[in-house]
Chain A
Amino acid sequence: MKFDTPATTNPIDQLKVVGQPIHRIDGQLKTTGRAKYAYEWHDTQIPYAYGYPVGASIAKGRIRSMDVAAAQTAPGVLAVVTTLSVGDREKGKFNTAKLFGGDEVQHYHQAIAVVVAETFEQARAAAALVKVDYAVEAGAFDLKEAMKTAEKPAESQQPDTAAGNFDDAFASAAVTLDETYTTPDQSHAMMEPHASIAAWNGDEVTVWTSSQMIDWWRSDLATTLDIDKEKIHLMSPFIGGGFGGKLFLRVDAVLAVLGARAAKRPVKVALPRPFMINNTTHRPATIQRIRIGAERDGKITAIAHESWSGDQPGGQLETAVAQTRLLYAGANRMTAMRLATLHLPEGNAMRAPGEAPGLMALEIAIDEMAEKLGMDPVQFRILNDTQVDPEKPQRPFSHRDLVGCLKLGAERFSWDSRGRPGARRDGNWLIGHGVAAAFRNNLVLPSGARVRLNREGIVTVETDMTDIGTGSYTIIAQTAAEMLGLPLDKVAVHLGDSRFPVSAGSGGQFGANSSTSGVYAACVKLREAIAAKLGFNSADVVFENGEVRSGNRSVPLSQAAGEQGLVGEDTMTWGDLTETHQQSTFGAHFVEVGVDVATGESRIRRMLAVCAAGRILNPITARSQVIGAMTMGAGGALSEELAVDTRRGFFVNHDLAGYEVPVHADIPHQEVIFMDETDPMSSPMKAKGVGELGLCGVAAAIANAIYNASGVRVRSYPITLDKLIGGLPEIA
C-alpha cells in the first residue's frame, strides 16, 4: 500500500482498541523473567561456549603483532580469533569505523580479538593473556582544537542553508544575541549490553542479538563476514534499551559468529560495560554558535545557527541545527555545520540525533533573547510561531500546535508564578522555573507485515519490527485488533525475526507510526482476502465482535478462516506528503528546579511535558516513552558527559559509576499531557512519533530553570555545580 493522499475515515478511527490505555501485552513476560533477551537464549541440550572480546588499548595506530599463545593454552580455551587472523574485511554500510578485521586501530577498545572458552570466566581470564605489539600513531581527540580545521561535508548532508539575508538583518536588528553553547559526548548507556549468540548449522547461521533494525544488521553482518544474507537468520524479539546504540551492526554479533565458526560450537558474546562507551557509538559533542536578531516588539528578523562536531574519517555530522530551520519564524536565516576529524570512537545516532543537542543550545538562546527583550519566554515563542516552513513559505506544516502546547503547559504548570532570576527561595534552595519548546521531525520508513487468521479466529502478526521497550508489541496488537474487530486477546504478535517481512524497525521515532501502518496495510489485505473468500463486497464489509458482516450476513472470523487459514501481507510505502508538507512533532517542557545556595547542586522538583504528536496510539506506552525521555533529558542537563582524555584519546568514565545517568532520587513527579489531535498527513494511523520528542528541549528547560533559580547562565552542558558556585551568593 502506498500512502500518498491524506487519510480519510478508516477502521482505526473507531478507537475501540487503538488509542486506549492498554498495559503492554509483553509486560507479564518481562516482569516474570520469561521474556528472553539476546544473551538468555539457553537450551540445556546445547553446549554453549563463551566469547570474551579483547579491545585495543591504544586510540590510533597499527598492530604489529599479536601473541595469543598463552591465551590459546589457557584452561578451557576453545579458540582465539584475532583481527589479524581474519584480515581486512568489507565494512558494513551503516558502520563508520570498522568493527573487526585488519591491523588498523581506529579507536580505543576497537575489537581486536575474541577468546572462546568453555566458561565465561575462562574466556575472560584468557582474554587478559593476549599480548599486542602496537605502532602507536598520533590522533586528534579535542573538538575545540579540531574545529579549527573542520571541513564542510558533502552537500547530501545539507551543511549550509540560507533564506533571505541574515547578515544584513542581524546587523540592523534592534536587539541581538550572539552566544556559543557546548554539548558533550553522551553515551546511550542502555541497561542491556550489546550481546549475541551465534549457532552454525552447516553453512547457515542463526544469530540471537539485541538489534533495533533487523534487516540492517542482517545485511551488514553478511557484508562484514562475506556470507550470503539469506544464510543468516537473525532474532531479536526483546531488547533491553537501545536509544540508537543498537541501530547498526555491532561487534558482539560479528565476534559470536566468527567465534562459533572457530570453536564449532554455539557461542555467546556480551560486550563488557566499558565497551559500550569506547567500542560502540556515542552522541558526538557539539560546539554551537547561535545568533538571533529581533525587533523591539519581539519578532525575530534574523536567526543563525552554526554547529561543529567531530567524527572518525568518513563519518557524519551531528545535525544540531536541524530544528532551527523550522522551529521559529524569521525571514532572514542561515545554518551551517562543519565536521572535524576526531579519532575518538565513532559518533552516531542517539535518541533524537540533531534535535536533542540542537535544542539544548537553541532553547537557551531563545530564553536569553526573551530576557533581552523583556518578554516572557512563553510569549516570545508564541509570537514567533510559524505555520509554514520558514525557508519555503509555500510549504505548510501538516499540523502544528506548538502554541497549544505552550499555552496549556503554562496554565497547568502555573507558569505565572515564576519569579525573577535568583529571587525565589525555599530554605537552602533557590527555586527556578524554566520552559523550552520541544520539536522533532516525524520520519516514516517503509514497513511490512504479515497477518494470519487461523480457524480458531486468532490473528497472528509477523513483522521484523523490534520492541526496544517502547511498546511495539502492544500498539501492533491494538492495530490488528481494531482492523479485524477482535479483542486484544485474540491477537498474537511476533517480532524481531528476519524470517518476517521487513519493517521500519525502531529508531528516529519512526517505529510506532511506520510499523503500525505496515500492519494496517497487511490487515487491509487480510480483510480483502476474508471478504473475497466469503463472497462479500469488500466495500461495505464490517469487522466487529469477532465477526465479519456484510448487509445482514455475518460470519465468525474463525469460520471465515477455514481449515487452511488466510494470510494478508503488505508493505506500507510513502508518497510525497512528507515533501509537500513539513511533518513534525511539537511539545513544551516546563521544569521547576532547586539549586542549593551553598553547593550549587541542582535538583529537579517537578516536570511537565505537553506533546502534540498526532494520534496517541496508546496513552500508557506513549507516556512511558515521554517520561523516560524526560529522565534522559535530566541526565543530559545535569550529569551526563563522556570525559575525553585528549592526550590518550578515549572516554575515561567508561562505566555506570563514572558516567552518571539519573537515579530514582533525581527524578521527581513527571506529568505528561498529550494534545488531543490527529495528523491525517502522517499515515492511516494519523499518528506521529513521540519517543524522541519527549527528550527534545528537556535539558534546555532545566538549564533555563537553573538560570531562573540562580541567576547564573551556563552555556556548557552538563550544568554541574562547579559551573554555578562562582556565581552564587556568598555563604556566611
Chain B
Amino acid sequence: MRVFTYERASSIEAAARAAASSPTAKFIAGGTNLLDLMKLEIEAPTHLIDINTLGLDTIEKTPEGGLRIGALVRNTDLAANDIVRRDYGLLSRALLAGASGQLRNKATTAGNLLQRTRCPYFYDTNQPCNKRQPGSGCSAIGGFSRQLGIVGVSDACIATHPSDMAVAMRALDAVVETVKPDGRRHAIPIAEFHRLPGDTPHLETVLEQGEFITAVVLPAPIGGRHIYRKVRDRASYAFALVSIGAVIQPDGTGRVAAGGVAHKPWRLEAADAELAKGAKATSAALLADARPTEQNRFKIDLVERTLGSVIAEARG
C-alpha cells in the first residue's frame, strides 16, 4: 500500500470536485474491494475521499412508481428492503447470492457496480495484465481462464465483471444517477454504464474522473417471476461461473441477463426476444458472438442449461 492522503467529504459537489482535481484520487465507501487492491498496489490512489458521511443511504419511491436507491445503501439493507423483496425480487436474490454477510454489511450499491474483476492474473502484479498495466499484455489468454469471459471479450482482455447485483440491475433496466465535477446531473442507463474491454480494458465504466454516483433508480415494477440462479463450484462465497437473472412473465416472455460471462452484465434485446421460445434459442442469441477459451467453453452449455432450469422454474 502506498502513502495516500484522506479527507471526509463535506458534500457531493465538494467530493466530485476533489476527485476531479487529481487523476489519482478515489472515492471510498465500503472499501471491501478497494482496500484489498490497495494492499496489493493494484490500486494506488494518492488521495481518498471518504463519502460515507454523505447520507445517500435511503430507498425512496420515485414519482414514476419506481425506486431510487441511494448510492450508499448497504447491500444488506437493499436485499432486506420490503419493496425490493416484493417488487424486485431478482435484485434481492442476486444480492444475497454474493459475498458474505459481513461484506454485504459494508458494501454499497454504487461500490458494487464499481468492483473490479477477480481475474487471477489481474491480482498478481508479477503477471502482465492490460487492465492493471495497459499495454503489458493479457496473461489470462492462453492461461488459466476457466472462470473468465466468453462473450464481448477482446484480444486485450477476457476478464469478467464479478457482481451479482449488477446482473439484476441490468435485467431491471436500472439507471445510474451521477453528479459531474461541474455540478451537472447525469443519468446513465445501466446498459451503457459498463464498457466492453476492447483495446482499453483499464477503462471499465463511462464515468468521468470525479463523477459521483448518487443513486441507482429502478423503473416501476414489471411483475413476472424473478429468478436469480448463480452457478458455482461451492455452495457459497464464490464468484459465479455463470449466473442468470431473469424476469419471466406468465406468457413466457421476459428479460434475461447473464453474469460470469462478460466484462459487463450481459443482456441482449435479441435474446430477450427469444425467451418465449425457450432456453436453446435464447442462449444461442445471447452468446451468438461467443469466443470462449478451451477452459471455459463449457460456459456456453452451462448458460443454456441454467437458463433452461430457470425457465422451467418460472413455468412451474
Contacts and interface: CB of A to CB of B under 8 A. Distances in A.
Contacts of B144: 643-645, 652-653
A597 B306 CA distance: 10
A598 B312 CA distance: 10
Given A643-B144, A645-B144, A638 B234 contact: yes
Nearest to B242: A599
Interface string B228-248: 010111111111010000000
Contacts of A151: none
B186 interface: no
User: Is chain A's interface secondary structure helix, strand, loop, or mixed overall?
Assistant: loop
A370 to B, nearest CB: 29
Contacts, number: 102
B236 A721 contact: no
B124 A663 contact: no
B124 A731 contact: no
A647 B142 contact: yes
Interface residues of A, number: 43
A401 B298 CA distance: 44
Interface string A300-343: 00000000000000000000000000000000000000000000
B185 interface: no
A575 interface: no
A654 B144 CA distance: 12
A600 B242 CA distance: 12
A656 B226 CA distance: 31
Contact of A599 (B41, B123, B306): B306
A141 B142 CA distance: 15
A720 B233 CA distance: 6
Contacts of B142: 647
Interface in A644-683: 644-645, 647-648, 652-655, 657-658, 660, 662-666
B118 interface: yes
B143 interface: yes
A584 to B, nearest CB: 32
B121 A652 contact: yes
A413 B309 CA distance: 31
A125 B309 CA distance: 49
Nearest to A726: B301
Contacts of B298: 721-722, 725
B3 A652 contact: no
B235 A666 contact: yes
Contact of B233 (A125, A597, A598, A721): A721
Given A598-B306, A721-B233, A731-B305, A121 B146 contact: no
Interface in B39-60: 39, 41
Interface in B105-156: 118, 120-121, 123-124, 126-127, 139, 142-144, 146
B36 to A, nearest CB: 10
A652 B143 contact: yes
A732 B241 contact: no
A191 B106 CA distance: 23
A459 B200 CA distance: 70
A488 B52 CA distance: 53
Contacts of B278: 732
Contacts of A653: 120, 144
Contacts of B312: 731-732
A331 B57 CA distance: 74
Nearest to A278: B124
A214 B164 CA distance: 46
Contact of A57 (B126, B234, B302, B305): B126
B1 interface: yes
B121 to A, nearest CB: 7
Interface in B193-238: 229, 231-238
Nearest to B2: A125
A732 B142 CA distance: 34
A639 B233 contact: yes
A274 interface: yes
B143 A664 contact: no
Contacts of A664: 236
A128 interface: yes
Nearest to B100: A663
A149 interface: no
B31 interface: no
A124 B126 CA distance: 15
Interface in A585-611: 596-601, 603
B123 A655 contact: yes
B233 A652 contact: no
Contacts of A639: 233-234
A428 interface: yes
B145 to A, nearest CB: 10
Interface in A48-75: 57, 75
Interface centre among B124, B143, B232, B238 (most CB of A within 10 A): B124
B39 A124 contact: yes
Contacts of B308: 598, 731-732
Interface string A714-732: 0000101110011010011
B312 to A, nearest CB: 7
A658 B235 contact: no
A652 B233 CA distance: 17
Interface in B80-123: 118, 120-121, 123
A732 B238 CA distance: 28
A648 B143 contact: yes
Interface in B151-169: none
Contacts of B232: 601
Interface string A427-444: 010000000000000000
B115 to A, nearest CB: 13
B239 A599 contact: no
Contact of A598 (B143, B241, B309): B309
Given A643-B144, A663-B236, A725 B302 contact: yes
B285 interface: no
Contacts of B229: 599
Contact of A663 (B3, B123, B235): B235
Contact of B231 (A128, A647, A721): A721
B279 interface: yes
B3 A599 contact: no
A128 B126 CA distance: 11
Nearest to B140: A652
Interface centre among A121, A652, A663 (most CB of B within 10 A): A652
Interface string A132-167: 000000000000000000000000000000000000
B302 A599 contact: yes
Contacts of B238: 657, 660
B235 A603 contact: yes
Given A645-B143, A657-B118, A663-B236, A601 B231 contact: yes
Given A274-B124, A652-B144, A666 B234 contact: yes
Interface string A254-265: 000000000000
B123 A665 contact: no
A662 B309 CA distance: 25
Contacts of A121: 1
Contacts of A666: 234-236
Interface of A: 57, 75, 121, 124-125, 128, 274, 428, 596-601, 603, 638-639, 643-645, 647-648, 652-655, 657-658, 660, 662-666, 718, 720-722, 725-726, 728, 731-732
18 contacts: A128-B41, A598-B309, A599-B309, A601-B233, A603-B235, A643-B146, A647-B143, A657-B118, A658-B118, A660-B234, A663-B235, A663-B237, A665-B234, A665-B237, A720-B233, A721-B302, A722-B298, A731-B309
Interface of B: 1-3, 39, 41, 118, 120-121, 123-124, 126-127, 139, 142-144, 146, 229, 231-239, 241, 278-279, 298, 301-302, 304-306, 308-309, 312
Nearest 10 A/B pairs, CB to CB:
A731-B308, A598-B309, A57-B126, A722-B298, A665-B235, A665-B236, A652-B144, A643-B144, A639-B233, A598-B305
Given A598-B305, A601-B232, A645-B139, 5 more contacts: A125-B2, A125-B3, A601-B233, A643-B120, A660-B233
